[in-house]
Structure 1
């Protein structure tokens, strides 16, 4: 049913408009107990639980940052079957993001280009909203992803991140430092070790007992990924999320004119699959087994998730697949993992 709705209706809507329509429905799920009924249908049937970061994840599959930027639909997403929801990216200063249009479908590639630009209401507003989420019964694991405010100069980035960390770390089950979005000028430069090390050290101190992870780009060379992985271990961080969107456009099926019209921004979806998996393997070869590695990028099916877990991912996230698979996506993943697990026993 959803593929028909997508092809006949949703593809005729502006992608950001379509996202907001779906988001409104998901946000409303907890009302009147509807979401609890839905969750009986979407949750794993067998024990897919993962223990990491000092937390219990009901399913290894969760929602990547970018889908719920302000933490407005955490409970509804959990009721759709996601084991964790990473909200954000949230910045210290509220910001509207980049001018519209800023979200584009590449349908032949099952991909999306976005240049949203961290549109969000800011860390202080998120703190009020997420305090209610934190106390809700039956909620999924809550990750909070923080980034640099656009108005903040790169040389002042650490102080900017510390504002968000101070406000949000007490509410997060885990906190993520995003230094890898291509849509905030200068942000990816923070992945250089001379800037990344003091930034992560400072945020780790501010985060206190909250597990801290860093999210990296797929466009780093393998040796850069290894050096960042070694830095994460050296600083005593709790994990790495790999990867963010890519600025590459090679090998796409979509016609060149459509790709050019979409313009600059981060590419996500199926074309990222091979590189994201390769980065996962580089990281896992460089870090201890117990370090949490969350794999994201080009994940769409239960087999994709199982492949990432077999390659050493502790948890797996998705986002773009939601657009192409629809509201029962997490259920499809959970049921598929149920079958894969049963076949291995």
Structure 2
């Protein structure tokens, strides 16, 4: 019995040793191949670095620069990736896109169909960096796949937004209606006005997460042409949507009539008092100064903080805060006045 156990143990030990040796040989060969490949890529980069740079800066093409295998394509990809981070001129960026299209387009088209998630994701990053709008339809087809990861989907939609893809609107309205507010916002913020207008027109039929994202994008862009839309949303909607519209107005920093917003300084909802204070500060509406001083005594810290910031935006703001600091009996109001008087000091 003991001999049998020793025999099996010996066989198991030998088997494990053989597996380890085979694994070691494989890793050694793999490492040697990787070193050889990196050397070949490095040599190609060294040989064509200046050639490619000249093509980007001055235009034209080189007959010698003709990648014959995957390693040389990787070398060109790395070179273009380096240049994409330092180029500033529109002509140079346009040439980079043109060269990436010439040398890498078909490679990326195939890689988008790869079964490996990492390869598809890396390809999406390169497509975005090189602005390869010729692959719009390929990325669109990728979004239709059932087994697509959520990360791939969001990245694909962001790229389509960056490239102003005309069918993106239909994708978001009909197929992907349950994205988060943050995800919608990272997509919509990349749209130019012509494409973004579609979402403005569809606002009333949109989900709340898409509506809040639309209002937040307007808040980020701070464009006056959306003012009538924002004021309408503010007057028609309630709750979170109304609040986001008010926030957008405060960031735009302009309204046609200040009266409705002055009234909000007395709102029973602290969020409305806070954002209204920000808006009145942006507008530098002197009619609101007395109420802003009162809001320095508000029970909510955020309201007091925003009131202090709003007062600072008036020409005599520091003088007002100094008076509050010296005369108010409310310790919280004095603390907030002191904080804003000493910000940036």
Q: Tell whether the structures are fold-level matches, with TM greater than 0.5.
A: no
Structure whose alpha-carbon radius of gyration is higher: 2
**Length-normalised TM-score, structure 1:** 0.27
> Which of structures 1 and 2 has the larger relative contact order (alpha carbons within 8 angstroms, sep 6+)?
1
Task: State TM-score, norm by structure 2.
Answer: 0.27
Higher helix share: 2
- Which structure features the higher share of strand residues? 1
